[in-house]
Amino acid sequence: MAFNRLMVFASVVTIVFASYLLVYGGYALWEYHRLGLSEAIERDAHGMSRTVGYSFIVMLGTMILGIGVIAWLTRNIREDTARKSITVGFTILNSLALIISLVLMKAHWRSSWGNFYVLVFAILAVAFAHHSLVSRRAES
């Protein structure tokens, strides 16, 4: 996959995912009450803290939206060193998000929405890792 297409794919996936999180994300993690955070003040019908849960989802959605915008703005970079750095950075970022999502899924979420979060980060991590490996192989 060409760098330009990879970055467009990543930006579309992350911007759509971030939009989803900003609009509907608070409803997806309704099992958040299992964490038992002491700062949970106001609770909804499922016992989830609205203050903590929704603010976390808004923060996560905003960060993912920022990553999508960065991916979109870097899609036309021509310098090979910059492309490699961006690809490795996005590989590490999405791999860490995948690992954290897997841990949270196993420990707290256990829901189909949690599986969706894991899937999004897995697709992005694999796409960037594949591009990194293919571009290194082409150099050799």
> What is the mean pLDDT of the segment spanning 67-94?
93
**Alpha-carbon span 46 to 127, nearest angstrom:** 36
Question: Is it the case that residue 37 has pLDDT exceeding 50?
Answer: no
Q: What secondary structure does DSSP assign to the chain, as a single string?
A: --HHHHHHHHHHHHHHHHHHHHHHHHHHTGGGGGG--TT--SB-TTS-BHHHHHHHHHHHHHHHHHHHHHHHHTTT---HHHHHHHHHHHHHHHHHHHHHHHHHIIIII-SHHHHHHHHHHHHHHHHHHHHHHHHHHHH-
Q: How confident is the model at residue 116 (pLDDT cuts 50, 70, 90)?
A: confident
> What is the mean pLDDT of the segment spanning 32-53?
54
> What is the mean pLDDT of the segment spanning 36-53?
55
Identify whether the C-beta of residue 24 lies closer than 8 Å to the C-beta of residue 30. no
Identify whether the C-beta of residue 105 lies closer than 8 Å to the C-beta of residue 118. yes
- Domain residue spans in the chain? 3-139
Tokens at residue 112, please? 């189909």
Percent of the chain whose pLDDT exceeds 90: 44
Identify whether the C-beta of residue 6 lies closer than 8 Å to the C-beta of residue 91. no
pLDDT of residue 88: 93
> 49 forms bridges with which residues in the sheet?
43
Q: How confident is the model at residue 134 (pLDDT cuts 50, 70, 90)?
A: confident
Predicted model pTM? 0.73
pLDDT of residue 82: 92
